[in-house]
C-alpha cells in the first residue's frame, strides 16, 4: 500500500476513461493525496487531459499532484497503478477495418475486438502495448496494471504471457448489462442476485435470482413483449435459444457468433440502428465521437460546460480504494484462467474477483454450461493465435486466427479469407512495421 498512491494513465488523451477514472478516484473517501501521471504521445490531447485533471483536483479540494509527459519513461517509475487506454493508428485505419471486410461480405457493426477489424486492431496496438508493459515491469514492477484498451482479451493475455506483472483487463459490460437486465425485468437492481462468467463481451449470466427465485422464466416472458424484445433483439435470441443472457450489446455481440450477420436477410431480421447492429456503426461515427469528446473537455476547461463529479461504475477506482483503504470490493475482471472456469482452457477469462489490501483475487466459478463454453472456446483459439502472432511477430498466425473467426469463416472460403487478410495488411502496412 502506498502512502500517496501514484496512478499513471497511458493514453491519457483518450479522456473518456482518464477523466472518469480520475473523477472516481478523487471521490474515494480517504484518498486525499496522491499523484496522477498522464502520458500521451499526442501533445494536444495530453494538454486537454492535464487541464481537466488539474480542474478535477481543484474541485475536489484534495492534495493530488498532476504531472504530464509525452514520454512514459519520464513518469512510470514509482507507479502504484498503471491504467492503459491507448489507441494506435485508429483514425487512419478505421475505414480499412470496416470497408475491406465488407467487400468480402463480412459485415461488422463495431469491429474493434473480434473479426477482421478486431484482429487488425490487435496487430496495430499489441506491439506498442507490449513495449509499455515491459517498461512497466522494469520501472514499476509492483504496479497493478489495468487495461481498458480493446481488443481486451487479446491484449490482456499478451501482457500476462509476456510479463510477470499483475495485469487485469477492465470493462463495464458486466455491471452495465446487469442493470439492463433488472430494467427489462422491471425490478429494483438491488433486489437481483446474479452470477456471471466467460470471456470479455462473451460472459454469461448463468444465475439470475430474487429472493431465491429463478428470474429467467420471467425474463423469457418479458423477451416476448415486442417493445422489450426490440431493445435487445440479438441478446434475447441468444438467451431464448442458448439459455443465458450475454454481456455485450446486441450489435457488437452479433459479430461474435455466426448466426446473425452472415446473410443480408438475417441482418435485416435481427439487427437495428445504432448499437443494435447497424452496419459500420463504429467506423462511421467513432472519428466524430472522438472529436466531440475533445471539444467537450475544451468546453469544460473554458467554463462553458459543468464538470461532472459523480463517481461512476468503472471498476478502476474500486480496485484503488480496496488496496489503499482496505475497503474490500467485488469486481469482474479479465484474468488468466488458472482453473477459474473449469471447462475453458488457459487464456483470458472474465470472472468475479475479490480485491483487498493484498491485491486482486479471482474466484473460482466452476464449469459453464457446455453450449456457452463451446462458443467461448472458439474465440479463445482466435485469441491464442493473435497473441502468438504478437509475441513471435508472425503474420501467418494472425491470418490463421482470421480463418477461425466465427463470423468471417461463416461468410468466406479459406481462399477468400487469405485475400481479405492480404488486402487489409497491404492497406495498413505503415501501421504494422513491428512485423518487419
Asked if residue 342 belongs to a domain, the reply is yes
User: What confidence tens digit (pLDDT) does each residue in 140-155 have?
Assistant: 999 999 999 999 999 9
Q: Is residue 100 part of a domain?
A: no
- Do the bridges between strand 245-246 and strand 348-356 make them parallel or antiparallel, or are there none, so unpaired? unpaired
| Average pLDDT over the chain, rounded to an integer | 97
Region 295-309: what's the mean pLDDT? 96
- Does some domain include residue 340? yes
In 161-200, beta strands by DSSP E:
166-169, 193-199
* pLDDT over 70 at 1, yes or no: no
Is residue 385's pLDDT more than 70? yes
Whether residue 122 lies inside any domain: the answer is no
Question: What's 273-290 look like in SS3?
Answer: CHHHCCCCHHHHHHHHHH
Task: Indicate whether 246 belongs to any domain.
Answer: no
At residue 411, does pLDDT exceed 80? Answer: yes
Provide the pLDDT for residue 14: 80
Whether the per-residue pLDDT at 172 is higher than 90: the answer is yes
Over range 244-265, report the average pLDDT: 98
Model confidence pLDDT, tens digit, residues 357-378? 999 999 999 999 999 999 999 9
Q: Is the pLDDT of residue 2 over 70?
A: no
Residue 171 lies in a domain: no
Closest CA to 6 of 144, 169, 156, 149: 144
Read off the pTM.
0.98
Q: Helix or strand or coil: residue 190? A: helix
CB 232 within 8 A of CB 250: yes
Determine the angle formed by the axes of helices 216-223 and 173-185, rounding to 10 degrees: 80
Q: Which residues are part of the catalytic machinery?
A: 172
| pLDDT at residue 3, as a whole number | 62
pLDDT-derived band at 15, boundaries 50, 70, 90: low
Mapped onto helix, strand or coil, the DSSP state of residue 344 is coil
Using a pLDDT cut of 70, give the percent of the chain over it. Answer: 99
Is 356 domain-assigned? yes
List pLDDT tens digits, range 206-217.
999 999 999 999
Structural domain including 349 reads 330-362
Q: Flag whether 336 is in a domain.
A: yes
Average pLDDT over residues 35-52: 97
**Number of structural domains found in the chain:** 1
Question: Is the per-residue pLDDT at 17 higher than 90?
Answer: no
Cell of 256: 461474435
Residue 224 has pLDDT above 50, yes or no: yes
What is the model's pLDDT at position 175? 98
Percentage with pLDDT > 90 across the chain: 98
pLDDT at residue 333 in the model: 98
Q: Are 351 and 340 in contact (CB under 8 A)?
A: yes
Amino acid at each position: 500500500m502506498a502512502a500517496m498512491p501514484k496512478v499513471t494513465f497511458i493514453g491519457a488523451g483518450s479522456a473518456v476513461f482518464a477523466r472518469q477514472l480520475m473523477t472516481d478516484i478523487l471521490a474515494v473517501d480517504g484518498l486525499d493525496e496522491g499523484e496522477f501521471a498522464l502520458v500521451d504521445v499526442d501533445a494536444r490531447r495530453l494538454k486537454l487531459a492535464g487541464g481537466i485533471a488539474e480542474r478535477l483536483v481543484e474541485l475536489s479540494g484534495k492534495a493530488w499532484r498532476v504531472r504530464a509527459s509525452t514520454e512514459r519513461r519520464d513518469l512510470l517509475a514509482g507507479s502504484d497503478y498503471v491504467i492503459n487506454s491507448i489507441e494506435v493508428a485508429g483514425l487512419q485505419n478505421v475505414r480499412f477495418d470496416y470497408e475491406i471486410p465488407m467487400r468480402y461480405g463480412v459485415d461488422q457493426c463495431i469491429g474493434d475486438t473480434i473479426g477482421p477489424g478486431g484482429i487488425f486492431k490487435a496487430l496495430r496496438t499489441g506491439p506498442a502495448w507490449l513495449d509499455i508493459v515491459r517498461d512497466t515491469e522494469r520501472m514499476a514492477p509492483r504496479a497493478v496494471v489495468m487495461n481498458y484498451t480493446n481488443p481486451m482479451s487479446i491484449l490482456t493475455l499478451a501482457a500476462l504471457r509476456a510479463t510477470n506483472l499483475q495485469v487485469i483487463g477492465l470493462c463495464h459490460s458486466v455491471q452495465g448489462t446487469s442493470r439492463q437486465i433488472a430494467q427489462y425485468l422491471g425490478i429494483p437492481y438491488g433486489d437481483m442476485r446474479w452470477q456471471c462468467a466467460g470471456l470479455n463481451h462473451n460472459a454469461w449470466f448463468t444465475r439470475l435470482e430474487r429472493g431465491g427465485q429463478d428470474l429467467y422464466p420471467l425474463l423469457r416472458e418479458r423477451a416476448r413483449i415486442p417493445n422489450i424484445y426490440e431493445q435487445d433483439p440479438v441478446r434475447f435470441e441468444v438467451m431464448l435459444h442458448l439459455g443465458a443472457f450475454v454481456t455485450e450489446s446486441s450489435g457488437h455481440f452479433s459479430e461474435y457468433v455466426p448466426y446473425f450477420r452472415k446473410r443480408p436477410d438475417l441482418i435485416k431480421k435481427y439487427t437495428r440502428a445504432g448499437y443494435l447492429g447497424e452496419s459500420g456503426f463504429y467506423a462511421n461515427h467513432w472519428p466524430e465521437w472522438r472529436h466531440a469528446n475533445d471539444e467537450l473537455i475544451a468546453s469544460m476547461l473554458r467554463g462553458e460546460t459543468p464538470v461532472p463529479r459523480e463517481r461512476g461504475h468503472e471498476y478502476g477506482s474500486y480496485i484503488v480504494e480496496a488496496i489503499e483503504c482496505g475497503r474490500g470490493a467485488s469486481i469482474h475482471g479479465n484474468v488468466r484462467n488458472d482453473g477459474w472456469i473449469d471447462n475453458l482452457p488457459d487464456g483470458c477469462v472474465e470472472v468475479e474477483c475479490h480485491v483487498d489490501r493484498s491485491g486482486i483475487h479471482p474466484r473460482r466459478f466452476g464449469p459453464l454450461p457446455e453450449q456457452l463454453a463451446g462458443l467461448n472456446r472458439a474465440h479463445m483459439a482466435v485469441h491464442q493465435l493473435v497473441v502468438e502472432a504478437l509475441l513471435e511477430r508472425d503474420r501467418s498466425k494472425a491470418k490463421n486466427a482470421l480463418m477461425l473467426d466465427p463470423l468471417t469463416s461463416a461468410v468466406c472460403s479459406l481462399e477468400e479469407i487469405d485475400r481479405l487478410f492480404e488486402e487489409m495488411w497491404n492497406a495498413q502496412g505503415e501501421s504494422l512495421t513491428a512485423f518487419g
